[in-house]
Copies of this chain bind each other. A is one copy, B any other.
């Protein structure tokens, strides 16, 4: 009896935001679902069916939707954990004494994570960003990118006309480009991180024909994208 109670309390501490305490069996199912989903999304991508995840977690299909009102919510729960991990492993880069190397390493860490986790890659480029927790985690990554970039720019090791948003965009760009090649040459992403990073150096820098997108523009575009996705979904159900 006591262990069960304790595990319930631990769960409450773990859950972000202070959700209501779940019944012990419910909490156990939630964990199994998150674990099964994380594994399935990472290896197969986001298109694995809910039924498949439920099977792997050994629960009924309906249980998934009782805990996560929609598949997107399940994706967001898994993905925000992954981004949190990414944030944690990038924070250490702020301490080093090689600012340019740290920017390069930041790109490497993020791209490698996406190369190894197909679901993570698909989610951060997609509508998962609609989820508030995912956005928060993503904003933290944005902030780290900004600090790393500022240090490197102060030293003159990175051109002055690029922004943290550029860094995040380029990280996604590289992750996308290497996707099809990962099965035959799993480390190929390093080449494109190197190549893109060379474009960030001051030596070859030429004026950029457009201004950097602002955070507001990105958010607006994401909102529009989410609204569009919601729109067609509503059309389908209506």
Contacts and interface: CB of A to CB of B under 8 A. Distances in A.
Interface residues of A, number: 50
Interface stretch (A28-36, A84-92, A131-139, A168-176): A168-176
A206 B194 contact: yes
A14 interface: no
Contacts of A105: none
A221 interface: yes
A181 B212 contact: no
Interface in A182-238: 182-185, 187-188, 190-192, 194-213, 217-218, 220-222, 224-225
Contacts of A13: none
Contacts of A201: 204, 206
A38 to B, nearest CB: 19
Interface of A: 125, 162, 166, 169-170, 172-174, 176-185, 187-188, 190-192, 194-213, 217-218, 220-222, 224-225
Given A169-B178, A198-B206, A199-B204, 10 more contacts: A125-B180, A166-B195, A169-B192, A170-B195, A172-B177, A181-B218, A184-B224, A194-B207, A194-B210, A198-B205
